[in-house]
Amino acid sequence: MPHVIVKIYTGQTEQQKARIAEEVTKAVMGATGHKDAAVSVSIEDVQPEEWVEAVYRPDILSKPDTLYKKPGYNPL
C-alpha cells in the first residue's frame, strides 16, 4: 500500500495538485505493479520561507538513506 507525501511550495492550484497526484499515482503503479486503489497521495503546502526548517533539514539532510532522488540545490 504505497503512500506518497509531496511537499511543495504554497501557491499551486487544486488542478495542479490533482495533476501531481495523478502523475505520481501512475508512476507508483508502473514501478510497483500495485493497482490504483492501493496508492494514496497527499500534498502538503509549505511556505517558501519555512522550506529549509520544515523540509530540507528534516526530510533531505537528516534522511540520506531514504532519499532516492537528491535535489540539485543547497539552500544552506
- Tell me what pLDDT residue 52 has: 99
What pLDDT, in 10s, does the model give residues 27-73?
A: 999 999 999 999 999 999 999 999 999 999 999 999 999 999 999 99
- The answer to whether residue 31 sits within a structural domain is yes
- The answer to whether residue 43 sits within a structural domain is yes
- Tell me what pLDDT residue 14 has: 99
- The answer to whether residue 48 sits within a structural domain is yes
- The answer to whether residue 23 sits within a structural domain is yes
Confidence tier at 12 by pLDDT (50, 70, 90): very high
- Tell me what pLDDT residue 56 has: 99
The CATH number of the domain holding residue 58 is 3.30.429.10
> Domain containing 13: what range?
3-66
Among 44, 72, 48, 49, CA closest to 60: 72
- The answer to whether residue 40 sits within a structural domain is yes
- Tell me what pLDDT residue 71 has: 98
Which of the following is catalytic: 2, 48, 64, 71?
2
- The answer to whether residue 30 sits within a structural domain is yes
- Tell me what pLDDT residue 67 has: 98
Per the structure, the count of domains in the chain is 1
Is 64 marked active-site? no
